[in-house]
């Protein structure tokens, strides 16, 4: 489903917040904006239960450590990814050999596969809960409308009581959501930290002002929607020293339906694909 990936966890987890510092209690969401948001939430929840489509795609994943290009094949058992370029260059023979060994090991490692499925299910459940919180977690207003889409603005709702630490630590965001009128699907979500967020005087967690994210979603075939771009640039730390920052630009292209049920089948598909470097 659309909220089943780590990108989707970023999509919704970065939205939930601690109460704002300003006295905004008199503000409430515009009824029309809230109605549009609730329709979008309902559509996404329905899709998460009914869309079990699987895909192949090209994945460009850029982080401060490396720029990597992958070919990904989804199956009903999980996803296989093969790196084909690193820092703008095709893999060397040694890197190709190491990548092949890594994939083969995973395909035959049931424990690693079970762990990946458990993590994915946890992300699914967490993202779904956060999705359902959106109407209450923010104050929503209509920013613009066209024949094809509606743009909503969101800002922190000072009356929202975050249910857990994760909801608080990723807080303080304001931004815009674009909803496609056809199907009420969330098309994009952009936000930024309006101020530095500190918990426990910054000892437990701290998120730096100016952090931003941009998630783009598009129909990729047969009316199915997927996250096609994720841009996350958030700095901070938690528990004294551990970084909780995200600096990543991920773009997925060349979407095609996958016909592989198992990881073994996906392995053969990856081996058979002829990829332009």
3-state SS string for 74-139: EECCEEEEEEEEECCEECCHHHHHHHHHHHHHHHCCHHHHHHHHHHHHHHHHHHHHHHHHHHHHEE
pLDDT value at 11 more than 70? no
Q: With helix as H, strand as E and coil as C, how does the chain read?
A: CCCCCHHHHHHHHCCCCCCCCCCCCCCCCCHHHHHHHHHHHHHHHHHHHHCCCCEEEEEEEECCCCEEEEEEEEECCEEEEEEEEECCEECCHHHHHHHHHHHHHHHCCHHHHHHHHHHHHHHHHHHHHHHHHHHHHEEEEEEEECCCEEEEEEEECCCCCCCCHHHHHCCCEEEEEEEECCCCEEEEEEEEECCCEEECCCCCEEECCCCEEEEEEEEEECCEEEEEEEEEEECEEECCCEECCEEEEEEEEEEEECCCCCHHHHHHHHHHCCCCC
* Average pLDDT value for residue range 115-128: 86
Cα–Cα distances (Å) from 28 to 25, 35, 65, 143, in that order, read 8, 13, 43, 15
Measure the CA–CA gap between 124 and 138, rounded to whole angstroms. Answer: 21
* Range of 58-72, 188-202, 221-235 with top mean pLDDT: 58-72
| Tokens standing for residue 197 | 């967020």
Which one is predicted more confidently, 198 or 152?
Answer: 152
pLDDT, residue 208, reads 67
Asked if 173 and 193 touch (Cβ cutoff 8 Å), the reply is yes
* Average pLDDT value for residue range 133-162: 91
pLDDT value at 44 more than 70? yes
pLDDT, residue 16, reads 44
User: pLDDT tens across 250-274, in order?
Assistant: 999 999 999 999 999 999 999 887 5
User: pLDDT tens across 210-219, in order?
Assistant: 678 899 999 9
Residue 235 backbone zone (phi > 0: left; psi -120 to 50: alpha; other: beta): beta
pLDDT, residue 201, reads 52
């Amino acid at each position: 489903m659309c909220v089943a990936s780590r990108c989707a966890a970023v999509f919704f987890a970065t939205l939930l917040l601690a109460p704002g510092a300003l006295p905004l209690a008199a503000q409430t969401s515009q009824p029309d904006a809230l109605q549009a948001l609730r329709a979008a939430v309902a559509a996404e929840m329905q899709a998460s239960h009914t869309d079990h489509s699987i895909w192949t795609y090209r994945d460009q994943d850029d982080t401060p450590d490396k720029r990597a290009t992958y070919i990904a094949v989804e199956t009903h058992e999980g996803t296989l990814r093969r790196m084909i370029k690193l820092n703008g260059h095709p893999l060397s023979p040694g890197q190709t050999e190491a990548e092949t060994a890594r994939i083969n090991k995973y395909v035959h490692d049931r424990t690693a596969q079970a762990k990946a499925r458990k993590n994915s299910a946890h992300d699914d459940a967490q993202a779904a809960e956060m999705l359902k919180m959106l109407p209450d977690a923010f104050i929503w207003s209509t920013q613009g409308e066209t024949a094809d889409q509606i743009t909503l603005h969101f800002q922190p709702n000072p009356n929202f009581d975050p249910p857990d630490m994760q909801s608080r630590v990723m807080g303080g965001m304001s931004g815009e959501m674009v909803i496609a009128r056809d199907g009420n699907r969330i098309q994009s979500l952009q936000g930024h930290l309006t101020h530095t967020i500190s918990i426990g005087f910054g000892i437990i967690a701290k998120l730096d002002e100016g952090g931003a994210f941009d998630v783009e979603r598009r129909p990729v075939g047969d009316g199915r929607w997927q996250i096609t771009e994720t841009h996350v640039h958030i700095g901070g730390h938690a528990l004294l020293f551990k970084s909780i920052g995200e600096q990543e630009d991920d773009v997925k292209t060349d979407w095609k339906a996958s016909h592989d049920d198992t990881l073994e089948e996906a392995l053969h598909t990856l081996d058979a694909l002829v990829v332009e470097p």
